[in-house]
Structure 1
Amino acid sequence: MPTLILVRHGRTAANADGILAGRTRGIGLDPLGQEQAKNVGQRLAAVPLALVVSSPLLRTTQTAREVVAAQRSDVALRRDSGFVECGYGRWTGRKLSELAKEPLWSIVQRQPTAAIFPGGEGLAEMSARATDAVRRFDRQVARAHGARSVWAAVSHGDVIKAIIADALGLHLDLFQRISVAPGSVSIVTYGMHRPTVHHVNDLGSDLSGFVPQADAAPADGVPSGDAPVGGGA
């Protein structure tokens, strides 16, 4: 199956000020965030992407445009609400330092599956629609571009953490153990038997190893998608 590159958007002023931006419209990248977006675009320039999908919010579309602009050939950019930020409801726009005093904060930290934001979305609901979107687009990319293609999804911290937790087989109640920084890259392949997680919260690795290779049987005879016993080369 194709390889998915998950990109968290670059930093915003709300991130820097400790404010929960949520789905507030018009919040774009700050100067550091713009630099982070250009950097991730340059890192992915060596990897021909079959498709880039973005959350429809400004900060993610700005980041996605930098990824598309750095590609060496034309690539489609699509927006999909499956990758949008969690709906934080009445928590939106408030300082994290204030929210940390709310009773719900402890539930978010310890039992995310039970966390439903007032007037908003539950973390379990967010996880379900994000993982559904990943699998939906992964199938589309496989049909249109082949099983060895690579595509990217530009999204938000909690959304990406939920996708990674699912790929790792972690219960959502453990997803707070995962860190996803602004401008970071995480990489998953959804194989025949199970997902394989290649990178999490990567801020500087050489990604050229993910350039799609021509379909061929593996030289070591291990079926494609199988995990080599002992870890392989």
Structure 2
Amino acid sequence: MTDQHKTHHHQNSENLTPQESWNNLYSEREQVWSGKPNATLVALIEKYQPTTVLDLGCGEGGDVIWLSQRGWAATGIDISDVAIERARQAVEKIGVEAEFVAADLAEWRTDRKFDLIVSSFMQSHFDDLDRIGIFRAALELLNVGGELVSLSHAGMPSFMKEDDPRREKRENLPQPLVEAHTLTENDDRFEVKLAETRSRTVTSPDGEEGTIDDGVLVIKRVR
């Protein structure tokens, strides 16, 4: 999922699985995300030598398509089979090669290894997503010298009203320094290259300009 889009705040019905909830979200519109690559991700990795890459929570495939166009052997995975089908249709239309997998990241496993694993705003309003567990599993899929690059919403938009009930969730937003420590503590196979918060400009649904903080985390497998 890329950073050019409005955040959706749907409530999950008790009788819907996370997959069903995300499928419902994607079914509301013909295209949910912009289709453009995440600008922060592009800035971080555009000079990397293209090899193998896995995109966790790829949505409709915007980042995967950009990676594929630059020569990466790219695989995207997302819980929504609606989003995955759109991603497959998009690469077919554009004429690039990429692999897409519809699966729950909390359960998905593979014997494959990757030189780069990316995750752009892999956060959920539908269930208690185990980001740390998913990232721990992802780190094991890195080749030596490979990197995990994660972008996350680390704060609320500046234009959000003080009485907005969503502000209560601010305390639960992932923080890169905390995640970096948790993922690498007592494990010298991994090295934290970057763990910081960056502010960027965003526009509200009403056209109001503001800023929002993103978490940026880069962990390298050194041995």
| TM score, norm. by length of structure 1 | 0.40
| TM score, norm. by length of structure 2 | 0.41
Q: Which structure's residues are more often helix, by fraction? A: 1
Larger radius of gyration: 1
